[in-house]
Amino acid sequence: MAPFLPPKIVLSGFKEKIDSLLVQGDRTYLGTATGNLHVYSHDPSGDLTLVEVKKSLTKRSIEQLGFIKDVNSVVTLSETTVTLFPLPSFSPPTILSAAKAAFSFTIHSYTYRGESELQGQDEFTKPAPIPVLMTYLLVGCRRKVVIYSWKDGEAQALKEHPLPHSPRIISFMNDDLACFAYSATEYAVFSLSKKTVIEVTMPLPLSAPSSTMGALTGFSGYMTLGLGAKSKPGIVKLNEAESLIIKDNEGIIIGKDAKPSRSETIGWQAPPEEIAFIKPYIFSVLPPGSIPSTNTDPGQNSIPTSVGTVQTILSCACSPAFSARQCYHSANVTFFGHEPFYLPSHDAN
């Protein structure tokens, strides 16, 4: 299954439904539908060892997990409320009360060169600019985005901006631009510095997907289960100038101007449930029954999974992504890849 390592189950027999997952350092955090948080340590081989379980960390499902290094805290989204839990005690929690009716959040950190504190020096003796760490926590709320930020670990003034719709998914494209998914068909690009929102211009529907994934035929017997799946919004960063968004069962690559940046699109047999990018591959989780399994050798190691089909697309021209997501479901947490497909290269400006 080159270029990927053989699949390996790192956790089995899990009794609860996993709704969120976070890998941070040597810890893996699993948020469940009942509000419990399971904390595991993992070694280089990938094996997980249970460290602790925070029972009823939230009253209901932990829908999303994140981590903010500046304040050494785990971020949770549950019941439209975003909360910070400081490590290692998870106490006392800090509820972000300004971000009411929250639907989503994302975290982005970067460094830039600040001005030297010593002024009046000539260019030969003036110290080099000091690196400054900037962290943003964007929370998508009902018809607005709330912006929390830290500069070298110090909290900055809270900001918010009204929006025409409510962001269900947020993903940074670069240090200034973030992509919003309002629904499965409505997207926008937001500038933090300019406080402007540009609606994404969608291309006209094509009769058939133009990428090689759309060329797969003869699977109608396997596709009927997946075709009834409800479309979900999806965004993933490809590089500093492009993001991939999902519209139904088509993937469209947009640029900083919120317009399609390539003529090629990606076609799936059914709307993906999740997408992720690890250079140079785009991973997609498809509904069960969308495509047949390619493992026809009964002697090969196979791992049954109820999460559906994981498919991979090779994207040669994409720059490194800043994060990677793992595939998960209620019974097992599985790390693996699938047969790659090729997406024509394109150099983003």
Q: Give me the residue spans of the domains in the chain.
A: 17-113+128-167, 206-349
Q: What is the pLDDT of residues 282-335, one digit of tens each?
A: 888 888 877 766 554 544 444 444 445 555 555 433 333 323 333 333 333 333
Can you give the pLDDT at residue 224?
38
The pLDDT-based confidence of 116 (bands split at 50, 70, 90) is low
Q: Is residue 138 within 8 Å of 147, Cβ to Cβ? A: yes
Identify whether the C-beta of residue 279 lies closer than 8 Å to the C-beta of residue 319. Answer: yes
The pLDDT assigned to 241 comes to 96
Q: What is the pLDDT of residue 249?
A: 87
Q: What is the pTM of this model?
A: 0.79
Model confidence over 213-256: pLDDT tens digits? 443 333 333 333 444 556 889 999 999 999 999 998 899 999 99
Say which range, 66-75, 148-157, 289-298, 332-341, has the weakest mean pLDDT. 332-341
Please give the residue that has the higher pLDDT: either 141 or 325.
141
When pLDDT is averaged across residues 130-149 and rounded to a whole number, the result is 97
Question: Quick one: residue 143, left, alpha or beta (phi over 0 = left, psi -120 to 50 = alpha)?
Answer: left
pLDDT at 256: 97
Mean pLDDT of 92-112: 97
Fill in the DSSP letter of residue 70: G
pLDDT at site 228 = 53
- pLDDT recorded at residue 211: 45
pLDDT band of 122, cuts 50, 70, 90: low
Maximum CA extent, the chain: 75
With a cut of 80, say whether residue 62 has pLDDT above it.
Answer: yes
For 159-169, what is the mean pLDDT?
Answer: 97
Relative to beta strand 340-343, strand 309-315 is: parallel
Angle at 159 between CA 242 and CA 100, to 5 degrees: 95
The upper half-sphere exposure of residue 38, i.e. CA atoms within 13 Å in the direction of its Cβ, equals 20
Q: What is the pLDDT of residues 265-274, one digit of tens each?
A: 888 888 998 8
Nearest in space to 270 (alpha carbons), one of 327, 213, 200: 213
What pLDDT shows up at residue 306?
43
Tell me, what's the pLDDT at 200?
Answer: 96
The whole-number pLDDT of residue 226 equals 45
Q: Which two tokens stand for residue 68?
A: 């903010």
Report whether pLDDT(159) > 60: yes
Grade residue 209 by pLDDT with cuts at 50, 70 and 90: very low
Q: What is the mean pLDDT of residues 174-195?
A: 97
**Structural fold of domain 17-113+128-167:** Methylamine Dehydrogenase; Chain H (2.130.10)
- In terms of pLDDT, which residue wins out, 46 or 193? 193
Q: From residue 98, give the alpha-carbon distance in Å to each of 130, 146, 148.
A: 32, 7, 10
Share of the chain above pLDDT 70, in %: 70
Model pLDDT, residue 231: 81
